[in-house]
A and B are shown apart, each in its own frame.
Chain A
Amino acid sequence: AQKVTQAQTEISVVEKEDVTLDCVYETRDTTYYLFWYKQPPSGELVFLIRRNSFDEQNEISGRYSWNFQKSTSSFNFTITASQVVDSAVYFCALIGPNDYKLSFGAGTTVTVRA
């Protein structure tokens, strides 16, 4: 069974600080996809990134970056120079080749204070 662990329940930072959200996963599959979603206070989940298991390149999108390391089964997410608008709950998720559903982590609540 797939398992996604987001050990950090809540993180609070001051604006302009960097913040890293940890995501550790467990799977027996060699092929799988990892996702990050953002849930702002408005409630709707917004897709941020998908990464397949064969692509270990790190990715940067503006202030967001992702570090995928198969050796440690981690797919961590960093927000650089955080802003108040980054305050949200962030979910990591995984799906394997025989899965019918995404397995979500419990989520990490990020609060950015002005």
Chain B
Amino acid sequence: DADVTQTPRNRITKTGKRIMLECSQTKGHDRMYWYRQDPGLGLRLIYYSFDVKDINKGEISDGYSVSRQAQAKFSLSLESAIPNQTALYFCATSEKDLRSNTGELFFGEGSRLTVL
């Protein structure tokens, strides 16, 4: 089983619908992240959390919200989905500060969301 699991892996929804993407991890890491991948733009950070009580906006948080239900769970919600939120979404974890000598991100397999 994957250490970082995302559900659903694929989802098609309609404009205006609320959608939740879930992420759970078995790595025991405190730090969790949600990224969005768009062709030609690389990965952009939506939200991140360094522990259960800590939630921080990333560079593209508008239109999204998150919930850190437990150390192992970090959910991303689109309150009212719009077509330009069609993208591949990644959850990631890290044990240590990415600015440290051993910090690195561990990614889930991605959730492909299509908003019609």
Which residues on A are within 8 Å of B, measured CB to CB?
A: 4, 9, 33, 35, 37, 42-47, 50, 52, 91, 93, 95-97, 99-102, 104-107
Q: A101-B48, A104-B42 are in contact. Are A45 and B98 (CB under 8 A)?
A: no
Q: A33-B98, A101-B58, A104-B42 are in contact. Are A45 and B48 (CB under 8 A)?
A: no
Please choose the segment from B17-25, B77-85, B100-108 that sits at the chain A interface, where 4 or more of its residues have CB less than 8 A away.
B100-108
Do B105 and A43 touch across chains, with their CB atoms under 8 A apart?
no
Which residues on B are within 8 Å of A, measured CB to CB?
A: 2, 33, 40-45, 48, 56, 58-59, 88, 90, 92, 98-99, 101, 103-110
Do B104 and A47 touch across chains, with their CB atoms under 8 A apart?
yes
Do B99 and A97 touch across chains, with their CB atoms under 8 A apart?
yes
Interface centre among A42, A47, A101, by most chain B C-beta atoms within 10 angstroms, is: A101
Do A105 and B56 touch across chains, with their CB atoms under 8 A apart?
no
Question: How many Å from the CB of B68 to the closest CB on chain A?
Answer: 16
Do A42 and B40 touch across chains, with their CB atoms under 8 A apart?
no
Q: A91-B42, A105-B42, A107-B42 are in contact. Are A100 and B48 (CB under 8 A)?
A: yes
Do B45 and A52 touch across chains, with their CB atoms under 8 A apart?
no
CA A37 to CA B110, docked complex, whole Å? 15
Do B45 and A101 touch across chains, with their CB atoms under 8 A apart?
yes
A95 neighbours in B (Cβ, 8 Å): 98-99
Interface centre among A4, A44, A50, A96, by most chain B C-beta atoms within 10 angstroms, is: A44
